[in-house]
Structure 1
Amino acid sequence: MSLNSIFQYFIPKDKKFFPLFEKDSANLISLGEKLVEALNTEDLTRRKELFKDIEDLEHTGDEITHQIHLELSKNFITPFDREDIHRLASALDDIADYIHGSASRIDLYQVTEITPPIKELASLILQACQDLNKAIHELRDLKNVRIIADSCVRINSIENQADYVFDKAVSELFMYEKDAVKLIKYKEILSALEDATDMCEDAANVLESILVKNA
């Protein structure tokens, strides 16, 4: 048993940070689900309602992030490295921001035709959020480190898939889209969606850092 593991044994069980991170990652799944539903419905009124739900969920995420930072300022003893707690909270907040940003761009740009690459990127975001949620639930005792590691590997793979989808979609836009304004709108939406998967990878990198430090 490592010295760090022995030290962790004597630390009181955390009742603040883990529940907040689990709540945050569950909120991300809700955001991903709303995004996928919004982009797969032809009912524009329903899509508008779902975009409003996404905005509300993003505000919920902001509140959770604020609570995490507040607890960080109040507690001297933390379940793992303070910097990693801050980095993980920020990464999860960024994911919510980019999901909301993607939905906002579609709404503000009045884009009604949702292309297959946009739908595919939304689906990849949801998959990454589900894997993050699974990994974060294993942080409480770090007994199933393999589950966390496997989730991180899958998230990295998802981000690579998203890169491919994004690059191919943008390439086709420049190749076939003759309307410059439409091209810019779609490129901005695709970019925001792809950025969301980058943020998922950032969160996975933090989780991997936590594993290494607490092995």
Structure 2
Amino acid sequence: MSLNSIIQYFVPKDRKFFPLFEKASRNLISLGEALNELVNTTDLERRKELTKKIEDLEHVGDDITHLIFLEMGKNFITPFDREDMHSLASALDDIADYIHGSAARMDLYKITDITPPIKKLAELILQGCIDVNKAVEELKNLKNIRLITDSCVRINSMENQADYVFDRAVADLFEFEDDAKTIIKYKELFAAMETATDKCEDVANVLETILVKNA
């Protein structure tokens, strides 16, 4: 093995890891946008198309996560703590999973009456995905720590709003809906969407940990 090859082995592969994290976070925006379009269209055929699109984008996210883990196994030195890299990749993947889970529940449970809480939760999910992407794109140099922390604050605020929307929606469901099947269907959907916002907060928590360790 040449000296250059040895040196390259020990140099952090920032040009591999950061683009992958950024690709994963940009994919989340695409997922959030598709979910928002899904809950705001009355065209049933278009809903099916968007459900399939969300499924495909979730698979894209899985592939990116797999590549991140693969690169971690191949490289001796990483841009930041390996445990935090694993946690960040997993948290980003979890957001995609729960967005896909939300769309899948709407399709499987044949939920055609899209209520205001569903639309609001989808809006908050997209907001969270946008802020996750903003923060992740600043990770490569850590010079704009304020931009990352501001995004984390907005994510935490978004998650608090989602908690309120979820609690109010479930309370109204129990108060005004008499059909047990309908209650179960909508509660399951609300829970999946609210969990997607929780996963955005998980990303914010990992990012804050990375900032503390690399300050």
TM-score of the superposition, structure 1-length normalised?
Answer: 0.94
SS of residue in 1 equivalent to 2:100: helix
Which amino acid counterpart does residue 163 of structure 2 have in structure 1? D
Percentage of pairs with the same residue: 73
Query: How many corresponding residue pairs?
Result: 206
Matched residue, 1:118: 118
Distance across 2 between alignment mates of 1:109 and 1:176: 20
Specify every segment of 5 or more residues in structure 1 that has no aligned partner in the other structure, as ranges: 1-9
- CA distance in 2: counterparts of 1:171 and 1:89, whole angstroms: 34
Query: Please, what is the CA RMSD of the aligned residues?
Result: 1.0
Matches of 1:203 and 1:157 in 2, distance apart? 14
Aligned equivalent of 2:142: 142
Partner of 2:23: 23
CA distance in 2, matches of 1:143, 1:11: 20
The answer on whether the counterparts of 2:135 and 2:148 sit within 8 Å (CA) in structure 1 is: yes
Aligned residue for 1:80, secondary structure, equals: coil
Contact 2:12 2:75 in 1 (8 A): no
Q: Which residue of 1 aligns with 2:202?
A: 202
> Counterpart of 2:99?
99
State the partner residue of 1:4.
Answer: none
Cα deviation, 1:157-205, whole Å, max 9, x if unaligned, reads: 0000000000000000000000110010000000000000000000110
* Residue aligning to 1:161: 161
Match of 1:81 in 2: 81
- Residues of 2 paired with 1:190 and 1:13: CA distance? 40
Task: Work out the CA distance in 2 between the residues paired with 1:137 and 1:11.
Answer: 21
Structure 2 residue aligned with 1:152? 152
Aligned partners of 2:213, 2:117: CA distance in 1, in Å? Answer: 38
Offset, 1:96: 0.3
2:42 counterpart residue number: 42
CA-to-partner distance for each residue in 1:93-114, whole Å, 9 max, x for gaps? 0000000000000000011000
> Within 5 A, what are the aligned runs for 1:7-22?
12=12, 14-22=14-22
- Please give the TM-score of this superposition, normalised by the length of structure 2: 0.94
Match of 2:64 in 1: 64
- Distance (whole Å) between structure 2 residues aligned to residue 89 and residue 69 of structure 1: 8
Amino acid corresponding to residue 57 of structure 1 in structure 2: L
Unaligned runs of 5+ in 2: 1-9
- Is residue 13–residue 75 contact of structure 2 (8 Å, CA) maintained in 1? no
